[in-house]
């Protein structure tokens, strides 16, 4: 199969868009072509009004083994570039206005761990593993994202040592929202994504922006007040609030 046609697979159903990394023979390591396809797929899903929530997932028991080290090393030796395509892919996921959910089954190392951290919510199977080995390779990978998830001291430990974090510890320290057994993994992802997909797309967008502003130390109150002015009494709010009122009152 031609890599340029199949490294990322996109599907949409019931308000949920899925972006599946599809380079199983390399444990979904992100090369330049795959990173470009992630960028294009995210743009496609963001522009699709039928998509409320985006799930990022891997294949065959591997979420993402990281950047394609062979490709990167060849580029360094040839002096072709010093940019990092996998970082652009993670940044694009992080910039999404729609809610994103990482479904992590298997290893998420380096750029793969960063990709998972760039999502809003993370669900891990019990065979998920995380590692941030940038300092071992002379790089900084994930240092901006980890503190908001696990706190400064733990982020420093994980990045300074580059040690492997198993699924149980990942949940305990806040690196993932949920860790579930393999038999329940798909159902948990469906449950969360389905619940999000039923919510108001506009409210989700503004809620995400407000929370992100709060996390980064901005004026989240002002963003929430702006959202209230724009959404309250609008068509979406009227329909949804009216339906909720009828459910509660029975009329």
Q: How far is CA 66 from CA 11, 26, 51, 85, 244, in A?
A: 23, 10, 27, 11, 44
- Within the chain, all domains assigned CATH 3.90.226.10 are found at 3-197
Q: Which residues contact 25 (CB under 8 A, 6 or more apart)?
A: none
Q: Report d(CA 162, CA 41) in Å as an integer.
A: 30
Give the architecture-level CATH label for domain 3-197. Answer: Alpha-Beta Complex (3.90)
Q: Give tens-digit pLDDT for 70-110.
A: 787 776 666 666 668 899 999 999 999 999 999 999 999 99
Map 156-208 to HEC letters: HHHHHHCCCEEHHHHHHCCCCCEEECHHHHHHHHHHHHHHHHCCCHHHHHHHH
Q: What pTM, to 2 d.p., does this model score?
A: 0.93
Q: Give tens-digit pLDDT for 190-209.
A: 999 999 999 999 999 999 99
pLDDT at 2: 44
* pLDDT reading at 1 higher than 50: no
| Residue 94: other Cβ atoms inside 10 A | 17
Q: Are 16 and 197 in contact (CB under 8 A)?
A: yes
pLDDT at 5: 63
Q: Report d(CA 61, CA 18) in Å as an integer.
A: 17
């Amino acid at each position: 199969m031609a890599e340029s046609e199949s490294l990322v697979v996109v599907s949409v159903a019931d308000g949920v868009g899925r972006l599946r990394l599809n380079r199983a023979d390399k444990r979904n390591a992100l090369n330049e072509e795959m990173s470009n396809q992630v960028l294009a797929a995210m743009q496609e899903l963001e522009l699709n009004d039928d998509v409320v929530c985006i799930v990022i997932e891997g294949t065959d028991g591997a979420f993402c083994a990281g950047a394609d080290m062979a490709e990167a090393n060849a580029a360094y030796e040839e002096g072709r570039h010093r940019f990092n395509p996998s970082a652009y892919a993670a940044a694009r996921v992080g910039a999404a206005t729609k809610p994103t959910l990482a479904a992590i089954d298997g290893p998420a190392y380096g750029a793969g761990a960063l990709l998972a951290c760039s999502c809003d919510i993370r669900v891990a199977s019990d065979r998920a593993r995380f590692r941030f080995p940038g300092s071992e390779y002379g790089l900084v990978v994930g240092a901006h994202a980890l503190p908001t998830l696990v706190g400064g001291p733990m982020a420093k430990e994980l990045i300074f040592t580059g040690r492997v974090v198993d699924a149980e510890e990942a949940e305990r320290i806040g690196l993932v929202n949920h860790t579930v057994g393999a038999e329940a993994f798909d159902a948990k992802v469906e449950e969360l994504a389905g619940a999000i997909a039923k919510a108001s797309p506009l409210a989700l967008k503004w809620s995400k922006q407000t929370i992100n502003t709060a996390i980064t130390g901005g004026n989240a109150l002002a963003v929430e007040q702006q959202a209230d002015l724009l959404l309250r009494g609008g068509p979406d709010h009227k329909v949804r609030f009216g339906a909720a009122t009828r459910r509660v009152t029975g009329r």
